[in-house]
Amino acid sequence: MSTTSPVPDHSHLDRVGYLFGFPIAHSMSPLMHKTIFDTRGWNWQQMFLPSTDISHFLKLTEDEKFFGASVTMPHKVAILPYLDEITPECQAVGACNTFYLRTDSNGKRRRLGTNTDVIGIREAFFQNVPNAETIYHGRPALVVGGGGAARSAVYALKKFMKCETVYLVNRDKAEVDAVISWCESQGYGEGLVHVVSAEQAERLEGTGAIVSCIPDFEPSTEGEIAARKTLEAFLAKPHKGALLEMAYHPVPWTRIAEISQKEGWQVILGTEAMIYQGLEQSRYWTGQPVSETEKAKVKEVIAEQLRKSQL
């Protein structure tokens, strides 16, 4: 059965967008985009739409005021058949997190989708690691996890970050097999290696970039414990790089972040990837890049929101 929330009143707005997913109460996306719009003096707003009803969402996109939407779970894959066109990033990852509109030569509005998660991952490294040539270029990378976020991470590492070999560590072999199979089908699966044990990790070349795509939890099952020990074996190697911890809810500083920092790794918080994917979304919706002033304001507002959430 679909879950559909009442549509927020937006009669006071010039333009309206949505965060479409379920559940979404913890998301900082509407706050981030409100900050950009307010800084520009625009009467635009992204509103929460906690819903599992795609047909209801699509009707809302027909509103003349609608500018676009962030698409999150459980709709990132399910929305694809309803789009008229997708970008190469969206195709390669197999998931859409950004819905936007364009008008064709006949004046018809077309539904388009892209994936800015890959840009968020890329920029989290690019903006925070000043010496990429010595840290991760040309070195193997590592992705912890086995879902859609893992595909986005593999794509970013191979497409943008000069990492020809990517190790995959996860508690579930079937999930890793699915990631490798998907990446191979899209032409970027070469050099993916499933690492199943700490012993195997110790025989492999050290990594320079790591992306952790799993929730923050203490390992308990056999598969979880083996995966954590495998990650720790990579972290203990002499070459130290940068780790992007994608999990930032309910707390941005996770168990993996703590272990990594103690081993001498630079830790990049997941809010960095969240911010940069959102800045890219704004560019699609507004046609304007986000200025350095606006970027600084967004970072300030998100940092303050994180501080409040930890009180």
299 is catalytic: no
CB 190 within 8 Å of CB 159: no
H or E element at residue 143 = strand 141-144
Strand partners for 19: 48, 70
H-helix or E-strand containing 119? Answer: helix 117-126
Select which of 34, 59, 76, 297 is catalytic.
76
**Roughly what angle, to the nearest 10 degrees, separates helices 270-286 and 117-126?**
120
Q: What are phi and psi of 85, to 5 degrees?
A: -160, 145
Q: Which residue has the tokens 């890329």?
A: 122
* Residue bearing tokens 């300030």: 300
CB 114 within 8 A of CB 96: yes
What is the C-alpha to C-alpha distance for residues 237 and 205, in angstroms, rounded to an integer?
9
Q: How far is CA 240 from CA 147, 158, 194, in A?
A: 26, 19, 21
Active centre residues (catalytic): 76
